[in-house]
Structure 1
């Protein structure tokens, strides 16, 4: 196995295991619903099309995903005052508290991933993550 093959295998394996651990923290909602709540908490009310782009799903799938968030009281639908055809999803206070609690738990779990790494390795990872982030930004610029 080449170094590149081993890197890819380890990377995908780590992503899969990390996602599993993060999903264990979600307490009754799925990953898409968590992303929706985080986005609403960070960016304010949004239309289904915006949320669909965020979660890489269809507006129809967003309606289904958001139904549970509304029923649970984490979000509410509000019509646009100027155009009644436009509906925004808005996070509630209960939703804000819920997503902040989930985020704290996910951060605790994520820190456990790096437990036991020496400071030197942490510094290497920071440098590597910056480089990967820059690579992704360059790819995004090429797509525009």
Structure 2
């Protein structure tokens, strides 16, 4: 196995495990649904196409995820006043409370991933993550 193959394998395995850990902390929704709520809480009402682009999910997956959020009362669909064909997803007060209550727990779980790493390794990760971010921004 080449270094690049090993890197990709580890990256996907770690990402999958991280999503699983985050999902175990969420109460009745999955990580993708939580991500949608965080986006709505931070950015305001969004069209499904906007959410699909930001989350890198398919439109069908967005519809499925948002149906559950609406059913649970975390979000609601609202039509555009000027164009009734346009529908926005908006976070509800219940959704805002949920996101805010989970933020600290989410951060605790995330910090657990880096537990035991020496400061030098943390600095290397910060440098690496910044480089990855730069690559994604180009």
Range class of TM-score, shorter chain: 0.7 to 0.9
Match of 1:125, SS state, is helix
- Unpaired runs of at least 5, structure 2: none
| Cα distance, 1:61 vs structure 2 | 4.1
Structure 1 position 113, deviation (Å)? 1.0
What is the TM-score when the length of structure 2 is the normalising length?
Answer: 0.86
- The alignment covers a number of residue pairs equal to 137
- In the superposition, relative to structure 1, how do residues 86 and 117 fare at CA in structure 2: closer, same or farther (>3 Å)? same
Corresponding position of 1:13: 13
Separation (CA, whole Å) in 2 of partners of 1:34 and 1:124: 29
* Residues 58-97 of structure 1 mapped to structure 2, 5 A cutoff: 58=59, 60-97=60-97
In structure 1, the residue matched to 2:109 is 109
Per-residue CA deviation, residues 57-76 of structure 1 (Å, 9 max, x unaligned), is: 12x44333222212221111
Distance 1:22 1:39, change over 3 A: same
- Bigger-Rg structure (1/2): 1
Partners of 2:80 and 2:87 within 8 A in 1: yes
SS at 1:37 equivalent: helix
The TM-score, its normalising length taken from structure 1, stands at: 0.82
Once the two structures are TM-superposed, the CA of residue 28 in structure 1 deviates from its matched residue by 1.0
Show the counterpart of 2:43.
Answer: 43
